[in-house]
Amino acid sequence: MSIFDLKISREERFLINVLFKERKDIKKEIDLEKIDYELLVKIASGHLMLPSFYVNLKNKGFIDLIPSDLKMYLKEIFTINKNRNQVLLNEAKEISEILIINDINHVFVKGTSYIFNNIYDDIGERMVGDIDFLVSKKDFTKTIELLKKLNYRGSKPMTSYAKHYGRLVNIEKIFAVEIHIGLLSKEYNKKMTPELILKNKVNLNNKIYTPNNEQELLYNIYNFQINDYGSNKLSYSYRSFYDTFMLIKHPKTNLNKIKTDNYINNYLMIAKELRILNFEFSKIHKKKLNLFRFKLKTSKKLYFSVDDFICNTIIAIELKRKQIIEIIINRSFRKYAIKKILTITFGKKIFRF
């Protein structure tokens, strides 16, 4: 075995197998008596996969083979998330009705869209943070004003490089809202133009609009690879992989039809190295340097730390550059930044007095 062969723990391998494989294939690989369940929960939780892990343990007949206290814990997490997602659907429906009444061209995206499209075995599987939706450029300001009239509030002003307006919160609602004018950073906008997504949107029961299946799949990949810097870091997310896995299982989604690029190649390369996503895809072009770097990150903790530090530093420098430009050109953001700096610098001392 090479020192750069992929190295992941048996706990992580068990998580992969439960999420992506059939029961008969799982039992061949994993000895449940050797599993460190505390580490397993830590890994699954870090990837926001506890509810999905619970559902798959049940569906594949493993739930009674794990410790009883863990079974109860996972069931509680799943139940809380399922109840929360039912609220999500209700709150998103309310927003959708208001947008339709006001003739605002829109689509729900990410977790909200996936749940509405029933890609999961149970609505309690997917953990969702906010209600995200994309609107047309001409409707963007109108939508912000409309949500504010409905008691959604936010303090962060819009920047020229932002994909969405600052997070809006209604204290009477569970979920915050993010109104998108784009899905990717401006320099990547051509990969998924908002106009094309809105033009090809799908109407669910004349009430809910979502992107079509191919664009759902593309956005799931690009959101992690570009927005979350997965491609830069050569990192991975089991939540993103699981969403892709479930989207591919959807009858109308065909991965082989999408046009590949470096971001999609890196994503699928890592999925293949981890032995997940059961599909044939002939378009993966492995770049040896990226593959070597990924294996090095998984096999050497020191290299992983150094690589992540360099990536995070580059990302932070680029963000600071954009913020400095924004402070110069954007009065609202300048006032916001100065107020935030003063609060951080003097806030604690002020509150002491």
Domain residue spans of the chain: 10-299, 300-353
SS3 140: helix
Rounded distance between C-alpha atoms, residue 160 and residue 181, angstroms: 11
Burial-class residue 270 by CB neighbours within 10 Å (0-12, 13-18, 19+).
Answer: buried
Give the residue among 15, 84, 96, 88 at the shortest CA–CA distance from 56.
15
> What is the chain's mean pLDDT, rounded?
86
pLDDT of residue 283: 64
pLDDT of residue 4: 52
The strand pairing partners of 108, in sequence order, are: 133
The pLDDT of residue 147 is above 90: yes
pLDDT of residue 280: 57
The pLDDT of residue 275 is above 80: yes
The pLDDT of residue 262 is above 80: yes
- With a pLDDT cut of 90, the percent of the chain lying above it is 52
Long-range contacts of 32-40, Cβ-Cβ distance < 8 Å, separation of 24 or more? 32/62, 32/65, 32/66, 34/10, 35/10, 35/11, 36/9, 36/11, 37/11, 37/66, 37/67, 37/70, 39/9, 39/11, 40/11, 40/14, 40/15
Burial-class residue 157 by CB neighbours within 10 Å (0-12, 13-18, 19+).
Answer: middle
Q: Model confidence over 301-341: pLDDT tens digits?
A: 898 899 999 999 999 999 888 888 888 888 887 788 777 77
The pLDDT of residue 216 is above 60: yes
The pLDDT of residue 348 is above 70: no
The pLDDT of residue 233 is above 60: yes
Helix pair angle (50-59, 37-46), 10° resolution: 120
pLDDT of residue 349: 46
Q: Model confidence over 159-210: pLDDT tens digits?
A: 777 788 888 999 999 999 999 999 998 788 888 899 999 999 989 877 899 9
pLDDT of residue 344: 67
Rounded distance between C-alpha atoms, residue 232 and residue 98, angstroms: 39
Q: Give every CB contact of residue 330 below 8 A, 6+ residues apart in sequence.
A: 157, 159, 160
**Residue 56 carries which DSSP code?**
H
pLDDT of residue 334: 78
pLDDT higher for 62 or 74? 74
SS3 24: helix
pLDDT band at 259 (very low <50, low <70, confident <90, very high): confident
Rounded distance between C-alpha atoms, residue 263 and residue 222, angstroms: 7
DSSP string, 71-125: HHHHHHHHHHHHHHHHHHHHHHHHHHHHHHHTT--EEEEHHHHHHHTT-SSSTTS
Amino acid identity at 86: Q
Tell me the mean pLDDT in the region 81-99. 94
Q: Model confidence over 6-42: pLDDT tens digits?
A: 778 889 999 999 999 877 767 666 677 788 999 999 9
pLDDT of residue 90: 94
The pLDDT of residue 237 is above 70: yes
Query: Topology of 10-299 in CATH?
Result: Beta Polymerase; domain 2 (3.30.460)
Q: Give every CB contact of residue 82 below 8 A, 6+ residues apart in sequence.
A: 51, 122, 123, 124
